[in-house]
């Protein structure tokens, strides 16, 4: 009896020792890596732009950029063993550039990787590169199957002995599915952990953040977003569920991360005012590197605040903030946009706005759907900021301040005036822009008088009824 008991104790001790290494070492999942989705998006956008470029030198430059981004994409796919995601990439690129075009991009990218020596460590990065995408996908699928068998074996060992460790392995397997691009399995596994009766709160939050990260990875892809919905992941609803749990039982780190996630989500949804407030609440303690780098987050938040904040608040909370100042030294167009807007250097502001459109809005998967809207709204803001200071001003002066022709400024202002976005009129005879904005104080005074008259009439009617 004592011998059996001793063997049982030894077995239990061995399992504790074996499982002593922590499986969950971060507060939230780190995969799928969002820069991979950005690289894939950038390749698609730049390839589409080739059809609008006739200059041979410019076309060559764009083709070189595509290969450069292709290096990052295929290197990362190999490192993270993303067999399922590679299937998505192949299918969509095949529709865009044909089978031969995809093959050429892969071979040129691999050649560039090998010549540069920038082979990512880990994953399948130690051996020779397969000669085709089909070969790469087969190698990654074989590696995925081996890894999943190991997860299955460990989960079977822990299922009866340690529910907590079993849930941890299930979380890691869900994270692995998300990493390799098997989004259906990842959603299923994460939800099973959340719904398991013995799942701890920490594990539930980990799974919920995993679902958020998975949703943000595919958020720019309409086809894949629909697939996620059919697989059971509605990102808006998932944010609500996560926020409810984090508000009740979350620590400071997860509250802060959730604000950063929601900021990015609101940018994608074009809810810029809400995104700006979340950015300001988060930036001083930002640590969500799995979402994007600090520099990219400052860039995104600064652009949002440029549209959403008033002029005094923009200067105090953004332009003069240490985070913005540090990043503006690297990305000069940020200060060119917001600094020149605040200090009324409108000609330099216009140049910076064009640079932001080219370098950020047209290449970012979050900003791309809003690029025209953002440029238009920022122009309206700059026009209003200048014109509201005058009762009337010459068109020639406005054109000079913005560094454009008089014909352009007249056409642009007319467009926004007709649309009701600017309360001015253009006097073509005198060549002036006239401030036509209603006087708010006079309007409020007239409303008070009108309401007072209505109140007096009601009182008189009531007094007559009472007298009768």
Contact 328, 339 (CB under 8 A): yes
Bridge partner residues of 432 (DSSP): 394, 427
* 130 Cβ contact list (under 8 Å, min separation 6): 136, 138, 139
User: Whole-model pTM above 0.95?
Assistant: no
What pLDDT is recorded for position 159? 73
Contact 286, 260 (CB under 8 A): yes
What pLDDT is recorded for position 438? 61
CA gap 253, 263 in Å, rounded: 16
What pLDDT is recorded for position 194? 92
Contact 320, 309 (CB under 8 A): no
- C-alpha closest to that of 151 among 173, 127, 171: 173
What pLDDT is recorded for position 13? 37
Q: Give CA torsion, residues 168, 173, 176, 181, to 10 deg.
A: -140
Q: Give CA torsion, residues 148, 154, 159, 162, to 10 deg.
A: -130
- The residue whose two tokens read 């399992």 is 15
* 427 Cβ contact list (under 8 Å, min separation 6): 392, 433, 434
What pLDDT is recorded for position 464? 73
Low-confidence ranges of the chain (pLDDT < 50): 1-21, 121-123, 125
Please spell the DSSP secondary structure of 100-143, one letter per residue.
HHHHHHHHHHHHHHHHHT-PPSSTTTTSPPPSSHHHHHHHHHHH
CA gap 451, 116 in Å, rounded: 76
* 13 Cβ contact list (under 8 Å, min separation 6): none
Helix/strand/coil for 426: strand
Structure tokens at 40: 């894939």
What pLDDT is recorded for position 1? 41
DSSP state of 285: G
CA gap 235, 215 in Å, rounded: 6
Q: How many helices (H) and strands (E) does the chain have?
A: 21, 3
Please spell the DSSP secondary structure of 219-243, one letter per residue.
TT-HHHHHHHHHTT--HHHHHHHHH
Q: Which H or E element spans position 312?
A: helix 311-314
Bridge partner residues of 394 (DSSP): 432
- The residue whose two tokens read 């090998």 is 114
Q: What values do phi and psi take at 251, rounded to 5?
A: -90, 180
* pLDDT tens per residue across span 41-92: 999 999 999 888 888 899 999 999 999 999 999 999 999 999 999 999 999 9
CA gap 218, 241 in Å, rounded: 19
Cis (ω within 30 of 0) for the bond into 32? yes
Helix/strand/coil for 75: helix
Quickly count: other Cβ atoms within 10 Å of residue 27's Cβ: 16
Delimit the domains of the chain by residue range.
Answer: 34-250, 270-387
- The residue whose two tokens read 């949002």 is 304
């Amino acid at each position: 009896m004592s011998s059996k008991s001793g063997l049982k104790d030894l077995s239990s001790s061995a399992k504790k020792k074996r499982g002593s290494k922590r499986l969950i070492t971060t507060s939230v999942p780190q995969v799928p890596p969002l820069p991979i989705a950005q690289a894939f998006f950038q390749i698609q956008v730049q390839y589409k732009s080739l059809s609008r470029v006739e200059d041979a030198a410019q076309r060559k430059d764009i083709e070189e950029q595509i290969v450069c981004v292709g290096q990052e994409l295929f290197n990362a796919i190999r490192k993270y063993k993303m067999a399922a995601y590679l299937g998505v990439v192949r299918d969509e690129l095949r529709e865009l550039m044909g089978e031969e075009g995809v093959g050429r991009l892969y071979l040129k990218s691999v050649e560039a990787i090998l010549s540069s020596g920038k082979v990512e460590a880990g994953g399948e990065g130690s051996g020779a590169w397969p000669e085709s995408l089909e070969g790469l996908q087969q190698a990654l699928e074989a590696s995925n199957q081996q890894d999943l068998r190991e997860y299955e074996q460990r989960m079977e060992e822990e299922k009866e002995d340690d529910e907590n460790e079993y849930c941890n392995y299930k979380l890691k397997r869900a994270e692995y599915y998300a990493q390799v691009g098997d989004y259906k399995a990842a959603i299923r596994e994460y939800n099973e952990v959340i719904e398991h009766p013995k799942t701890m709160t920490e594990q539930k939050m980990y799974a919920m953040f995993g679902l958020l990260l998975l949703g943000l990875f595919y958020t720019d892809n309409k086809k894949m977003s629909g697939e996620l919905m059919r697989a059971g992941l509605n990102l808006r609803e998932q944010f609500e569920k996560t926020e409810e749990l984090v508000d009740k039982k979350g620590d400071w780190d997860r509250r802060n991360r959730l604000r950063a996630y929601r900021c990015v989500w609101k940018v994608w949804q074009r809810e810029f005012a809400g995104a700006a407030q979340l950015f300001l609440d988060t930036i001083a303690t930002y640590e969500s590197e799995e979402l994007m780098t600090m520099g990219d987050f400052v860039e995104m938040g600064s652009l949002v605040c440029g549209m959403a904040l008033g002029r005094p608040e923009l200067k105090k909370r953004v332009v003069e903030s240490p985070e913005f100042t540090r990043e503006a030294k690297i990305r000069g167009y940020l200060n060119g946009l917001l600094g020149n807007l605040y200090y009324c250097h409108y000609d330099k502001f216009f140049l910076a706005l064009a640079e932001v459109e080219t370098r950020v809005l047209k290449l970012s998967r979050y900003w791309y759907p809003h690029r025209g809207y953002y440029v238009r709204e920022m122009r309206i803001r700059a026009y209003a900021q200048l014109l509201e200071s005058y009762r009337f001003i010459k068109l020639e002066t406005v054109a000079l301040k913005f560094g454009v022709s008089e014909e352009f400024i007249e056409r642009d202002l007319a467009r926004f005036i007709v649309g009701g976005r600017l309360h001015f009129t253009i006097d073509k005879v005198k060549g002036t822009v006239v401030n036509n904005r209603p006087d708010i104080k006079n309007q409020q005074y007239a409303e008070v008088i009108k309401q007072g008259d209505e109140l007096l009439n009601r009182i008189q009617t009531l007094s007559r009824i009472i007298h009768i």
